[in-house]
Each structure stands twice: as C-alpha cells, then as structure tokens.
Chains A and B, each alone.
Chain A
Amino acid sequence: MTSTSVQSVLMVGVGGQGIIRASDILSAVLMKAGFDVKKSEVHGMAQRGGCVSSHVRFGPKVYSPLAKKGEVGVLVSFEKLETLRYLDYLKGDGKVIINDEEVYPPAVNLGEEPYPDDAVDFIKQYFTDVKVVDATGIALRSGDRRMANTVILGVLSAYLDVDYGVWEVVLTESFPPKILKKNIEAFKLGRGV
C-alpha cells in the first residue's frame, strides 16, 4: 500500500460480531495517523443478525465513504461465508483476513442449504495473500470471546503503515480501564499472528 492515494479496507461479517466498533477504532487510528478518513456502516433492520459491512477509506483526501468493487486492498472478514459474499470488492492483489468462525444463516440451520465448507480453498484459488485466524480461540484464551474483534484489529494492524503507538492511544481511549489491559493483550496476540 502507498500512502499517496486513497486506500480501502472492507470489514464484513454478521450483526453482533462487533464489526462497527472495530471499524470505529480503525477509523480513529487512521485519523490520528494523519489521514483523511471516511467510513460507512449499517444500522436498523439490517443489523438484526443479517450481513454487516463497513467500508473504511483513507488517504490525503477522501470523497466517497463507499469503495467500488475491485478496489479494496484488505478484506477483513469476521465470518467465513461472508468473505465469499464480498470477494468482488477486492483488487487483484488484495489481501484477505478471515476469522475462522462459522455463523449459520437460517437456511443452513434448517438443513435446507449446505454451509460452503470450501470457502477458504475457493478464495485461495483467486487471491494469494489469505490469512485465516482463530480470533475467537485467541480471544477465549485472553479471557473473553467478545474480544475477537480486538484480535482481528491486531491482525489487520500488521497490514497497515501506522505506528503501534497510535493504536495503543486509540485503544486506551476506546475501552474502559477495567477491560483495557486484556484488550491490549488480545490486540498484540493478533498483531503477532
């Protein structure tokens, strides 16, 4: 990634996985690092267990908060199947971070449709830089499965040209003191993956 043009990160997953919060933190980090930032998100009916996506775009001057298809540099997916739904947003040399978690949609729960078990293999056929992370497992080991989104942010941080110090400042502002230490720990574990 160069820092002279607008770059796009797309975060996707399922309502309730903490995607909006993660993209808020990412946006705050990028702003603090000196970029112009715009991000989009979904509210209301769409959130009730449905697909959630958040575009984060940054650069010297950003106009659109939405990326167009084929231009996203990093696709960060909190759920395997959802990665497939947004794959067409990636550019040819785009990178993929996948949380190794499956959340069954209704038709799969009812036994009417299969869950696409080959998601990761399929993605690897078209993209070379694909990282699968057991974020929930790492979060559990740090003490709370709800920190999976912090772990994923840690993984993502290694893909972006922003000093760790900026991340730490924003994380400190984002979490109450009681859970801050654990979240920083989870973030670092993710960053080291």
Chain B
Amino acid sequence: MKALMSGNEAIARGAYEDGITFASAYPGTPSTEIMEAFAKYDGVYAEWSPNEKVALEVGIGAALAGARAMVVMKHVGVNVAADPLFTASYTGTEGGLVVISADDPSMHSSQNEQDNRNYARAAKIPMLEPADSAEAKEFIKIAFRMSREFDTPIFLRTTTRVSHSKSVVDLEEPRRVEENRDVRPDPSKYVMVPAKARERRIEVEKRMERLRAFAETFPENRMEINDTKIGIITAGMPYNYAKDVFPGYSYLKLGMVYPLPAGLIREFASKVEKIYVVEELDPFIEEQVRAMGIEVAGKTAFPYTGEFDPGVVEAGIRGVKTEGVDLPDRPLPQRPPNLCPGCPHRGLFYVLGKLKVFVTGDIGCYTLSFMKPLEGLDSCICMGASVGMAHGMDKALGEKGRVVGVIGDSTFVHSGITPLLNMAYNKSNAVIVICDNRTTAMTGMQEHPATGVTLQGKATKTLDLVELGKALGIDNVRVVDPFDIKETRRVIKEELAADGPSLVISRAPCALLALKQKADRKPPLRVDPHKCTGCKVCLGLGCPPISWRRFEDVDMKIEKKTKRQEGIALIDPALCDGCTLCRQLCAAGAIGEVTEDD
C-alpha cells in the first residue's frame, strides 16, 4: 500500500517495520514527529527523556542489554549528547544503536546552523543520509543492520527539508524479531578506563577500515552515468534539487556520507569532465574529495549558509537568473512569529521588559519576547544557558538586582537544574524565573517530567518544581500567576531586592494546551471606543488581536478625550482569548467583555 509520509513519519514507520521496539528522545524541531509517530505503534517502548544526553545513555544501556535502540534528537541536541556518544563509539553497541540527528539548514527553528556530519568524523561513527521519505524508511533499517554488523553506533542524518517534506512510500508489513535481551559483563568493552580504552581505540580504527571498504560496494552509494560533461557528487535533499534542474548530468549519489568511498569517487571522477559537489552547509564532502587530489567545484559555486533549493543549484552551475516575471522590489511588513493570544508568557515579559534588568533568556516560545514591543529578553544561547549566565553576570557585576534569568519548564528540566544548584552552592544573587506553562510548547506540546504524564500517555510521578528548588538550596521560592500583572511585578521586585538566589515559578498553562484540553473559554474582550483615550499602553503587550486605528480609518464619530489623541485601540474578538492582561493595563477602563449587543 502507498502512503504519503513526512521523512520523520517514514523513519518511525521504517523502525516499526524492522521490528524496533525501543526508542528514547528529547523533542526538538525538526526531529520531534519521529518519536510522536513511533510511540503510537503497537508493542513499542518510547520515552521522552529529560534531555538528549540522558536519551542517548538510555539508548546505550538498552543496546548493551541486547535491544536495537533508536535515539532521536535535533542537531544541537547532539551537542548535549556528545559526551556519551564519543565513548559509545569505543564500547560498541551489541544490540544496535542508531542516533538520529535532524539538522536545520536555514535555522527555521534553531539557534545555530551546525553541520552534524562533522560529528560523524569526530566520533568515528558512520553516517547515512536519506534524500526523501522512501529512503528514510529504508535507511533506518540499513542503519540497524550496519550497527549490528560493525558493532558501532551509527548516525542517520536528516535535514529539515527531509524531515518535514511528505513524499510517497510503500508500506510493508512489520517483521517480528526476537532480540537476545540479556546483559553480561565485559570489562574489556564496557569499562572505558584508560588501559581498556586504549585497546578499544585500536578496534575503532580497524572498524573504520572495514567501514571504508563497505562503503565502496554499498548499494546506496550509486553512480548514475548520463551526460559526462558534468558530474555531480551529492547526498540527501540536495540530490533532489540537482536532479530537478539537471536531470541529464551524471551523478554520484551518496547514501552514506561518512566514511566516503574513495575508490568509487575516483572511478566517478575518471568518467566525467567536470565535478561539482552539491552539499548544504560545510564543504564536508568537497574537502575530502579535494584531499584525494581530485579537482572539484563546491563552495566556489554554492553558498556556505542556508538551505538550497533547485534555484540555488541551478544558479551555482548555470549562473542564470531564475525565469518568471520581473517584479519591482517592494518592501513589505515583516511577519515574524509571535506569542499566541492568551499566552502566559506575555504578562511575565511585559513586566520584565519594564524593569531595569538584564534578562538572560533561553530556548522556547518565550524567546520571541525579545522583539518589540515586549523587549523582555536580552540573550539566547542554548538550553539551560539562562541560569548559568544570570549567575555569571551577577558575580561579574557584584551588584544585586540587575539580572533575571528566564527558562521554560521543559527547558529547566532539560538543563536548568545543575546551574540552579550552582547558584545555591556559589551564593548567587540573581533571580531565576521558570516560565512554567506545563508543557514543551514550542515543539508542539510534548510531556516532560514536570507534567506527570509519559510520552505514551501513562500517568507518572510529577516533578515538584517548588520542592526541587528548595532541595537544591534556594531559600526564596515563590509561585506567581503571570496573568496577574501587578502581583507578578511585585514578587519579582521583592526577589530582586532579597538576599541570596531566588526562584520564581510563573505558572499558567500554555494557551494551546488549554485549547487542546478544552478548558472553558473566557469571553473575548472589546474596547469601548468612546472611553479609549488612545494612550497605546495595551499595544505594548504585542497581542495579535489588539490593533491601532487612526480616527480617519474608523467609521464612527468619536469624541477626542485628549487634544493629542489620534485614534483608538481595537480588539479582534475572533482572535481574543479573554486573558484580561490588556484590561489590567487600561487606565481609562475602556476594555470590557464582549456583550450580546456587540
């Protein structure tokens, strides 16, 4: 049977068809849907771990116990998991271990554009890269076979465009696999003290030799010889872009991007006149081919940054301007992503934006509040960085009340606990706010240890953030409702003045979570045009339903309340969530609930 599947869904399906029953992950765009899809198949165990390092360690343990384990993360997640990864390369994996790295060229949903093919080389781990959903479904199976055959962890790399494009796949029946689940001590393999690690180090190099030989005849490294004037070496999604615009050229399409098949590359080079390497981000293949003494064009023709498309590949090789209509340049209002109507972060960041403090930020929806008009966040580096940075700034400034660190609940569990412990241990004076919206919102509402539900929907222990803060040694722990602006401002100001580190838990469910759980809707609000003084304070919330109308654009007669009033605020009732933040800010009392008459 045929089906349309995203690359992510196809990876989950392929794992299921291959009889894989064990997977661990931390959500992160563009990887998240792999686990969401996999967790729904019959007879599988799938967990959200608190972070990628834990997820990988869980996978290593399962693999050493004989399971074939799939561990899933986005590209920056591999940074978090890098520590166990590099040594698991030495221990080998018994059952089988596939690490999926979903890279994000163009940074659609990421803070950097790292090319994780470099990890394959650095950790001496082979890497497969599918070009579409059909390959994704097939390559996950090949990856598990290779992991077992070579006793190595193996990477399956996707990019956003592979993960989030849908294409046609053939569904197959799942096969039943009896895995030999057992553990037996083997210090020479599993205890990586220096003496043992030195021995394994040699084994890793022997394995690389075998993998290089395997790559030469690996059927997914394939030549397509057509017009031999131009040959293109490529892998993953860029293969599709190139085939789309240059179907007649010759191709060496690499299904395995590390290690490379040197013999096959030489053979291809001998058959074609000019070679282009078409790859997004780093010149990873290009530099290795160059090092073989083969002349190629790569980053001289194509950009280092951003994802490609057929137009980029065409321009790089043919140097033509894209066809189509000649349109004049026309500046358009930007449409950046924004916090949703009814978002609990809005009240908190409105307060923070008005305080004279530096706000170290973190990874989550709330990062968006750096923008106008909230301007309530001043840094974003990586998961957990807000806490450590707030402490570092506090120590460097040596002056109380100047720094607040903000971090989401899921992000706090991911990487905020250790730096919070550090703040108690090293006597910090900074204030940390956990934006506790009861879910992992940005990636689409995944559960985590503080929600009390597992990935597969089972009720479980709920991490108590208040008690945790106290246990770590934070004496000042407060809980506030971010929909109460006055109270939120008062508590944060008190904690900025208090001695020692403080933890404020700003707690209210994500607006989308409330929608999903069908919580009672609050009535939408409206602006009474005859009371509105046009002060624009409510616009400072940056709430999507609230807009500004000049008097000349309103079809009714409105008396000016002040000489300088130029218009009024409006609320779109279809978008309004009724959260009341704007009503709390309106000094004129012009905002009220929509009534029957409206």
Contact = CB atoms under 8 A, between A and B. Distances in A.
Given A48-B339, A49-B338, A27 B166 contact: yes
A68 interface: yes
Interface stretch (B85-93, B195-203, B241-249): B241-249
B546 A109 contact: yes
B241 A66 contact: yes
Contacts of A44: 29-30, 32, 108-109, 442-444
A66 B325 contact: no
Interface centre among B168, B340, B443, B574 (most CB of A within 10 A): B168
A50 B309 contact: no
Contacts of A68: 244-245, 309-311, 314, 322
A46 B368 CA distance: 11
Interface in A1-35: 6, 14-15, 24, 27-28, 31
Interface centre among A39, A40, A46, A81 (most CB of B within 10 A): A40
B396 interface: no
A176 interface: no
A89 B243 CA distance: 19
Interface in A78-134: 81-82, 84-85, 87-92, 104-111, 113, 115-116, 122, 126-127
A109 B547 contact: yes
A63 interface: yes
Contacts of A141: none
B167 A65 contact: yes
A84 B325 CA distance: 13
A44 B165 CA distance: 14
Nearest to A28: B4
Interface centre among A45, A87, A126 (most CB of B within 10 A): A45
A37 interface: yes
A49 B164 contact: no
Contacts of B132: 38, 65
Nearest to A32: B2
A107 B334 CA distance: 8
B574 A110 contact: no
B310 A66 contact: yes
A36 interface: yes
Overall SS of chain A's interface: mixed
A31 B2 contact: yes
B327 A108 contact: no
A36 B168 contact: yes
A69 interface: yes
Overall SS of chain B's interface: loop
A64 B241 CA distance: 5
A42 interface: yes
A85 B339 CA distance: 22
B330 interface: yes
B337 A46 contact: yes
Contact of A87 (B243, B327, B336): B327
A64 B333 contact: no
Given A45-B108, A109-B547, A64 B324 contact: no
A31 B365 CA distance: 35
Interface string B523-555: 000000000000010010010101110100000
Interface string B481-498: 000000000000000000
B445 to A, nearest CB: 12
Contact of B335 (A31, A105, A126): A105
Given A70-B323, A81-B333, A108-B333, A42 B164 contact: yes
Contacts of B332: 81, 84-85, 116
Nearest to B33: A43
A66 B161 contact: yes
Interface string A55-82: 0000000111111111100000000011
Contacts of A89: 324
A45 B310 contact: no
A91 B325 CA distance: 7
B514 to A, nearest CB: 15
Given A69-B322, A106-B338, A107-B334, A40 B165 contact: yes
A51 interface: yes
Nearest to B241: A64
Interface string B363-396: 0010010011100000000000000000000000
B29 A48 contact: no
A181 interface: no
Contacts of A108: 333, 547
Contacts of A43: 29-30, 32-33, 109, 164, 444
Contacts of B544: 49, 106, 109
Interface in B173-220: none
Nearest to A111: B548
B548 A49 contact: no
A91 B442 CA distance: 35
A37 B2 CA distance: 12
A71 B324 CA distance: 7
B574 A145 contact: yes
B327 A48 contact: no
Given A39-B165, A71-B324, A105 B309 contact: no
Contact of A41 (B164, B330, B442, B536): B164
B240 interface: yes
B567 interface: yes
A31 B4 contact: yes
Nearest to A62: B167
Nearest to B335: A105
Interface in B398-426: none
A112 to B, nearest CB: 8
A174 interface: no
Nearest to A35: B168
Contact of B325 (A24, A50, A122, A127): A127
Contacts of B334: 105, 107
B244 A113 contact: no
Contacts of B365: 45, 48
Contacts of B314: 68
A46 B109 CA distance: 7
Contact of B324 (A38, A65, A82, A88): A88
A91 B309 CA distance: 16
A48 B337 contact: yes
Nearest to B338: A49
Interface centre among A68, A113, A145 (most CB of B within 10 A): A68
B531 to A, nearest CB: 19
3 tightest A-B CB contacts, nearest first: A70-B324, A44-B29, A44-B109
23 contacts: A6-B244, A37-B168, A38-B165, A42-B108, A43-B32, A44-B32, A46-B337, A50-B336, A63-B247, A65-B167, A68-B244, A68-B322, A70-B322, A70-B323, A85-B332, A88-B322, A91-B324, A107-B333, A108-B333, A111-B550, A111-B567, A113-B333, A145-B574
Given A88-B325, A90-B325, A105-B336, 4 more contacts: A27-B166, A48-B365, A64-B309, A68-B310
Interface of A: 6, 14-15, 24, 27-28, 31, 36-51, 62-71, 81-82, 84-85, 87-92, 104-111, 113, 115-116, 122, 126-127, 145
